[in-house]
Structure 1
Amino acid sequence: MVCVTAAVVGLACLAPSVGTAQSYPNRPIRLLHGFAAGGAADTMARIVSDGLSKRLGQPVLVEAKPGAGGNLAADAVAKSAPDGHTIGLVTGAHAISGALYKQLAYSPVDSFEMLSTMVYYALVIAVRADFQARTLSDLIAMAKAKPDGLSYGSVGFGSTHHLAGELLNITAGTKMVHVPYRGDSLTVTSLLAGDVPVIVGTTVLLAGQIDSGAIRGLAVTSPARTKLLPNVPSAQEAGLKGFDVRTWAGLLVPKGTPPDIVKRLNTEIQSMLADPVVKTALETATGGEVRGSTPEEMRALITAETDKWSKVINDAGIPRI
């Protein structure tokens, strides 16, 4: 009798999980991201929306919730029902927030179940075509000769672009001054106008200007050259040994989402990323490399990135928010 009772209890415990697996998804899914409509994150979200809708059999509706470097959207995802019907698209800024902010309403790691990374992409250190530094070594020599005499522009304080510039300063022993702008396009405009001599920008935005000869790419921030800018050396090639800055994008859901739903979503994401049409679209949108992961690998990435940027912030003396 005891054995029968135990078996019944065991089946009852399993029932919610089985039921979840069978019924999910049973309504449209929200896909939240924390950046402006029309930007790279929004473009990626719409590619993912289409790919997952086809695989899950429910509409995946993109919702942009810009503000605080993606923190508002991440907070909204963290506080959503953990049932798989709210997914967050996050970028490298997600890990930086864990390093930069004194206090967040959520934990970048512990408030979520990770699903998978999607794409990694490099940045590029660039100058105007008529600037006297022809190589990254030239730029470093100029910056060392004039401490605090050179500035570099980025998309904003606390961005991966900003911290890539600070890591360049730390690695090369320079003191270039950061000038924050509101978005990539404004950094390009200011560079071309001569308002700032150096920028750290996204490869996909700068590729056209570099190909046209208006802007010179001195180095990409990944360990190897990129497909989008094959003629621009990596920072390591240019002499900065160990320099590696790649931002990334990935997907996550609220903490407590059932494991069977997490597994289902990871499986469908891997299928989507293996689709040549989706792969090409994501790589075109970012100038990067599509690469999926397990939930555990994505969690380890965010933890390692948070530690990395925390050290850079400390070493550069950047005030925490």
Structure 2
Amino acid sequence: MSMKIRILFRCALAALWLGLAGVQPAWAQAYPDRPVRLLMSFSAGSGVDTFGRLVAQKLADRLGGSTYVENKGGAGGIIGIGAMAKAMPDGYTIGLIANTATIHQGMRTDLPFDLKEDFAYITLLARGAMVLAVRKDLPAQTLPELVALAKARPGQLNYGTPGIATPHHLATELLKHETGMDVLHVPHKGAVEAINGLNNGSVDFELIAIQSALPHLKSGRIRALAVTTASRQPVLKDVPTVAEAIGRPDFEADLWYAIVAPARIPPAIAAKLTRELHAILGTAEVRNILAEQAMQAAPSTPEELRALIDRDTRKWAKVAREAGIVGQ
């Protein structure tokens, strides 16, 4: 190719890129011109499903179009997240994921998705806590007292979870590592069965999502010793954090929800979704509904969400590896 032809080719290529740069904002201005699908890796009727439907409705109002929710539960959320990864990256499919996605990513090699490569990060939506609760007659009034009791009776106390490799399981194993407790794991078939085990005294303690624990705490059937977030929770303001109670400032095991999209979504559309979702999370109505579920709005930049997902993936992979936990 002659020098003159190469120069003309480069000029044409530059003109093409300049043209595309002008087109993308136009896509964003016209977006959406058909319904947007919110894919959720949860079953219909769950608490997060209710919240996701509210987000979908508010997003439709903000965008001036329509949205609809499609539930793809199963395999701990893996099926739904896999469907998100395979969707067209045109902005007409977005996905709501939870912190459990990072556990799958950190523990399994057979996933139909890769959190790092297959998604564009839009924003974190909300964060919540688990509460460490004990059966009402356990002779421990604080977390340090529970640790002392477990050390005095090695291998005799037990803790319940909704199942193997759940956030509750891994967070308790992290707590065991940080405190040196020798306690036995009693996995259950779901959160309801796990709470029933604590209520009837067949397990000594467990981590429970706060919104699920509140009715049982208020009834006096179980007692709260600590929460797993970095700061205290408004609905349990007198309950210390695990970090406070055991003197480990970096202990944190929160629950969260976020919005992602298939990788290679047009950046202008991704930015528009981030702006609109931040506006939704800033409304009193949404914040009040989250508060009723013991959650807090937590809008983030895409970069902050990426960092959170990367950090949690590495953390839970390490906990699982050291505890010998295998993904189910």
TM over 0.5: yes
Q: TM-score, normalised by structure 2?
A: 0.92
**Structure 2 residue aligned with 1:94, among 93, 101, 104?**
101
Contact kept? 1:207, 1:229, Cα under 8 Å: no
Q: Which residue of 2 aligns with 1:246?
A: 254
- The residue identity in structure 2 corresponding to 1:283 is A
Q: Secondary structure at the match of 1:196?
A: coil
Q: 2:177: which partner in 1?
A: 170
**How far off its partner does 1:273 sit?**
0.7
Shift of residue 42, structure 1, vs aligned partner: 0.8
**How far, CA to CA, are the matches of 1:6 and 1:116 in structure 2?**
34
Distance 2:230 2:307 in 1: 20
Question: 2:193 aligns to what?
Answer: 186
Larger-gyration structure (1/2): 2
Using the alignment, how far apart are the partners of 1:38 and 1:18 within structure 2? Answer: 37
Name the counterpart of 2:284: 276
**Distance change (3 Å), C-alpha of 1:13 and 1:141:** same
Label 1:239 to 1:21 Cα distance change in 2 as closer, same or farther (>3 A): same
Runs of 4+ in 1 over 4 A off after TM superposition: 1-8
Residue by residue over 1:68-103, the C-alpha shift from the partner in whole angstroms, topping out at 9 and shown as x without a partner, is 221111100000010111111111101111111122
Root-mean-square deviation over aligned CA pairs: 1.9
Greater Cα offset, 4-13 or 53-62: 4-13
Determine helix, strand or coil for the equivalent of 1:289: strand
Counterpart of 1:118 in structure 2 is 125
| Matching of residues 218-297 of structure 1 within 5 Å | 218-242=225-249, 243-285=251-293, 287-297=294-304
Change in CA separation of 1:14 and 1:237 when aligned onto 2, cut-off 3 Å: closer
Secondary structure, counterpart of 1:310 in structure 2: helix
Partner residue, 2:78? 71
Residue 4 of structure 2: aligned partner: none
CA contact (8 A) 2:104 2:327 kept: no
Distance, in Å, in 1 between the alignment partners of 2:49 and 2:189 is: 17
Separation in 1, partners of 2:212, 2:199:
14
Counterpart CA distance in 2 for 1:318 and 1:9 is 52
Q: Note the 1:33-182 alignment, pairs <5 A.
A: 33-182=40-189
Count of aligned pairs between the two proteins: 320
Work out the CA distance in 1 between the residues paired with 2:303 and 2:184. 37
CA contact (8 A) 2:135 2:203 kept: no
Instruction: Tell me: CA distance 1:9–1:65, structure 2 relative to 1, closer, same or farther (3 Å).
Output: closer
Aligned mates of 2:85, 2:135 — CA distance in 1: 42
Amino acid of the structure 2 residue aligned with 1:66: G
Cα pair 1:204 1:228 within 8 Å, conserved: no
Asked whether the 8 Å contact 1:51–1:278 carries over to 2, the reply is no
> Take 2:247 and 2:77, find their aligned partners in 1: how far apart are those partners?
30
1:264 is displaced (CA, Å) by 0.5
Would the alpha carbon gap of residues 135 and 16 (structure 1) be closer, same or farther in structure 2, given more than 3 Å must change?
same
Q: Distance in 2 between matches of 1:220 and 1:30?
A: 35
Secondary structure, in 3 states, of the residue corresponding to 1:131? coil
Q: Which amino acid aligns with 2:288?
A: T
| Aligned residues of 2:131 and 2:207 also touching (Cα < 8 A) | yes
Verify the 8 A CA contact 1:98 1:107 in the aligned structure 2. Answer: yes
Identity level (%): 37
**Structure 2 segments unaligned to the other structure (5+ residues):** 1-6
Q: Is the 8 A contact 1:47 1:281 kept in 2?
A: no
- Secondary structure of 2:279's counterpart equals helix
Greater mean alpha carbon deviation, residues 128-137 or residues 3-12: 3-12
Q: Is the 8 A contact 1:128 1:215 kept in 2?
A: yes
Structure 1 residues 43 and 9 mapped into 2: Cα distance closer, same or farther (>3 Å)?
same
Q: Following the alignment from structure 1 to structure 2, what is the Cα–Cα distance between the partners of residues 103 and 67?
A: 15
